[in-house]
Structure 1
């Protein structure tokens, strides 16, 4: 794909798809966005939240980063892009749901098992991957047969989602709104191979197929 393909794609969007949402977008422009869902997904180019979930403009506030990681709350004056997005979604937009969506064949989770060196070109990547360290440690304790690398990676991807949910709870307003019933958090796992989604069941401590019955009608 080259830049001209994107230009052609925008032309097609304006001619074919934009008219379908024009009324909805006009309302969003006049009254502002009011999404009820914060979707935290990976920057992986194979992950397409709007296509995966058949959503329209204004439905979801989307945060994407390497590994769909959630940094723990840190009240300092450094730059915190992901944390800022979470705070804005929860405290300003007032979303009612946060979805942490991991996925199969995640490069970030695979990189946890590799030495990426000390190159200054990857200094921020190396630091960011520390957010997956606990998931890796837990996986190595839980998986007996460590020779099956693909099985190890799939387990790490799912376990990481659970740990990112735990990091969400370190945000004061997230914790407060969960306790008051104003907010719910969900852990999902997307299988790139077939497009299916799994949902984390806290009572069973496992991922189960995502179905409407999981959340009621």
Structure 2
């Protein structure tokens, strides 16, 4: 905890002071242009990899960057309500679903359910993406664990993009051309970023 306190003191003395005017403007309002849906993984740093400032990205982070399909419910739905707020209140014009390499959540999608008995809430959460495993099985052309890993992570991104379009207000704005949806695959080890190209149906290196 001492390390965190020292980090805050450094931020307050240096970073905050150098952006004092920006923080003053953001004190009462926000106007982000992008909803960034990413994994909770501590190695994924959305503002760092996009070189964005406070106020630009509205963030949703959860295990395996999952977006549950839209449904009306009286349950407490954190991700669904955050999507709703970003699109309906903040009027973002872009949604990014960003997955990454070596994703523990995606790796768990390929495990037998009983291996997740000790984390029952994670196991339940991953059921949202249960179709990913079947798609990966159909797409596999080799037998290597590495191929299954990266294919699972990329297919998972596409499933979440599909799920986003089940939200009526997302679909309406997407069809009207006022909302863009992108799928990103980030490589932790190299810093490379791949963007899904709808026309070619492949992830292409951003360069």
* 1:144 positional shift: 2.6
* 1:131 positional shift: 2.1
Q: Confirm or deny that 1:23 pairs with 2:21.
A: yes
Equivalent residue for 1:141, pick from 138, 142, 151: 138
Distance 1:119 1:137 in 2: 19
Matches within 5 A, 1:32-111: 32-111=29-108
Q: Confirm or deny that 1:129 pairs with 2:126.
A: yes
- Indicate the SS of the match to 2:92: coil
Equivalent residue for 1:151, pick from 134, 147, 152: 147
* 1:116 positional shift: 4.6
Q: Is the 8 A contact 2:132 2:152 kept in 1?
A: yes
* 1:119 positional shift: 7.0
TM-score, structure 2 length as denominator?
0.96
Which segments of 5 or more consecutive residues in structure 1 lack a partner in the other structure? 212-217
Classify 1:37/1:26 alpha carbon distance in 2 versus 1 (closer, same or farther; 3 Å): same
Which segments of 5 or more consecutive residues in structure 2 lack a partner in the other structure? none
Ranges of 4+ aligned residues in structure 1 off by more than 3 Å:
118-121
TM-score, structure 1 length as denominator?
0.92
* Number of equivalent positions: 207
The farther-off stretch of 15-24 and 191-200 is 15-24
The farther-off stretch of 100-109 and 115-124 is 115-124
RMSD after superposition: 1.3
